Amino acid sequence: MKLKNFLSIPIFSVFLVMGFVYYITVFILIEDWVGLQTSAGSLNSMIFTTLACLCVLSFLVGVLTDPGRVPSSYIPDVEDASFASDQEPKKNVLQSKYCDKCAAYKPPRTHHCRVCKRCMLRMDHHCLWINNCVGYWNYKAFFNLILYATIGSIHSSVIVISCFRQKDWNYSGTTPLKIFYLACGLMMLALSVTLGTLLGWHIYLITHNMTTIEYYEGIRAAWLAKKSGLSYRHPFDISVYKNITLVLGPNTLRWFCPTSTSHLKDGVNFPTLRDTS
């Protein structure tokens, strides 16, 4: 992806929020709470700085990494297509389709993005905040971004609350200062709840080996299966541990590194229930 991806108001807004949260947390709240020169202050500032750096790294990787292009030489697997035609719900997920907009075949789990104007491998959604699609090659970075942002927001919320509680408001509490602490607390709590909810959602998707698009497709597929007296299970949901390793990698220590994607293959073929049964 080109650097022009950064020429976006939402991306500028994300950097602005990151910088603002970092500044008030480290240089105002921690300093006012225990002091940056104390051991507790140094430890908290070091932890928060590490989270902030990991958050920025994940954000940059998510913005700059191409989500995944369909290989020009891609040809649908006829055997998989004939298998998928036996059951309508599986057909919706497994069978390779032809994209009229790209005038080419697209692999399973691939969708056309109207914003990017091309098909994306294992597309989850188009994210306004990274000015990019979230797909096969940058989904891990996107997940790490949410993870570190959530932990950082919770950490900052705890610092705000701790700082507020230890103050003697009878002597040092002025109305503007109280409003400032209240505003910071509400902002960090709102960020924590919002990001935490998003994190929980994507943990659910990862453990079921789904994308956001596939989740909503699965609702309709389950409804169609129920009408036919059949049961439906997402065909790429093979087991919780395997689902996680397919997205984050087999090495647990590398789950938290947004640039560690050596476990990813071509983004065209994926193990299914059929392969493991």
Give the active site residues.
Answer: 127
**Bridge partners, residue 105, by sequence:** 98
Token duo for residue 211: 């994308």
**Cα-trace Rg, the chain:** 23
The C-alpha atoms of residue 39 and residue 258 are separated, in whole angstroms, by 30
Residue carrying structure tokens 């700059």: 64
Q: Is 216 exposed, middle or buried (0-12, 13-18, 19+ CB in 10 A)?
A: exposed
Euclidean distance between CA atoms 260 and 54, whole angstroms: 13
Alpha-carbon distances, residue 128 vs 48, 63, 108, 179 (angstroms): 26, 10, 24, 31
